[in-house]
Structure 1
């Protein structure tokens, strides 16, 4: 953290593919005496390049979906693999189980939604900078419900496969995308069907969408 006139300021890297969103966030943080946006990036690869160039930041504020560029989950994995990585706080519009679990499993320190009040978001940035978990209330509820639910829940990999299935990919295409065998894909789908109480792909997708487990872009 830098110090200006005796005030500790958090250095933030904004990662979002929408310039208007970055501009709005930067303006919001500029109004605070304790925060400073030191860099911006339009996708995960640009964020990695920024960090590898030596730019020092206290928190990376990361979107999940960024057009054709490197997505947030892939970027989170890469950032957390760096030497002495900064904490990554996800800021997105998506709150499905699949998105939340993927981000958390990739190493995200926190997960916030873009409709969060400014004060709540700023507090989450401070919390993430301390290395502590910062979760939007709705996200925290979803995670707690997964822990409390007596119903078998889908794993991160199962949700990932189900999401690709919803995009229209075949078992073979999914196996190539995830670098696993087609037999492994089939085994995961058997478990998905059992856990959702369905017996076919269409029913699995419909049930998952209804429960908010996955989304279709």
Structure 2
């Protein structure tokens, strides 16, 4: 299909590395032990389950159809590696539930999915701790590629070309949420500077840098300093690399 060809070209051009697509096949994901799929529609859950099984050998898939099931099933497994969560399942408590999920499962990847999310909703999901967002109307190969990129450590927002929620609109509403010093530290982190180099550049102590980095980890709901800059770019707080 012409649309699929356009996607394949874009995926390879974007630097997918080992996750690049060959025509007619899904990309391999980094190895994961367990995926929890939370969606109210059994047919959609089954489709994602088959996609996971085709993309990652030996993966165990858990399916959930309600908010309560997410917590019950996740607790039984102890530590799912990946959550695929339909935002419609979370209702008005979207931000609270995602933040709670991130707090309880800090090392897991969390991807929000929806058919009709606008830019504000996607931003809220990313700010609440999601590693990515995927539009549910995208082709199978594009979904597989995006999930693989998240599992490889990237923040990814993949939406329909017709969706008005353009990535340029997915921003934190109030950029003044960062102090001037936090913004300076963020900029240096984006350049790959070490804490020692940041301290030297800004004329502050190493301990102060560590405190600012810890604050940025909390603000962007990530676990590692290397994840701060990619998340900030997704949210429009840094210019693209």
> Would you call these one fold, judging by a TM-score over 0.5?
yes
Q: Is residue 59–residue 87 contact of structure 1 (8 Å, CA) maintained in 2?
A: yes
2:205 aligned residue = none
Alpha carbons of structure 1 residues 85 and 94: separation in structure 2 relative to 1, 3 Å: farther
Q: Which whole-Å deviations, capped at 9, do the CAs of 1:22-74 have from their partners, x for residues lacking one?
A: 1122123333344734211112332122222344322101100128x785443
Structure 1 residues not aligned, in runs of 5+: 1-6, 148-152, 156-217
Alpha carbons of structure 1 residues 25 and 17: separation in structure 2 relative to 1, 3 Å: same
Q: Is residue 118–residue 165 contact of structure 2 (8 Å, CA) maintained in 1?
A: no
* SS of residue paired to 2:71: helix
Aligned residues: 144
Deviation at 1:83, TM superposition (A): 5.1
Q: 2: distance between equivalents of 1:114 and 1:146?
A: 18
Structure 2 residues not aligned, in runs of 5+: 1-28, 175-241
1:85-100 matches, within 5 Å, as: 85-100=107-122
Q: What TM-score does the superposition give when structure 1 sets the normalisation length?
A: 0.55
Alpha carbons of structure 1 residues 42 and 84: separation in structure 2 relative to 1, 3 Å: same
Deviation at 1:15, TM superposition (A): 0.6
Q: What TM-score does the superposition give when structure 2 sets the normalisation length?
A: 0.50
Q: Is residue 64–residue 73 contact of structure 1 (8 Å, CA) maintained in 2?
A: no
Deviation at 1:20, TM superposition (A): 1.4
Q: Is residue 13–residue 38 contact of structure 1 (8 Å, CA) maintained in 2?
A: yes
1:58 aligned residue = 81
Alpha carbons of structure 1 residues 108 and 80: separation in structure 2 relative to 1, 3 Å: same
1:41-190 matches, within 5 Å, as: 41-66=64-89, 72-82=94-104, 84-138=106-160, 142-145=166-169
- More strand, by proportion: 1
* SS of residue paired to 1:53: helix
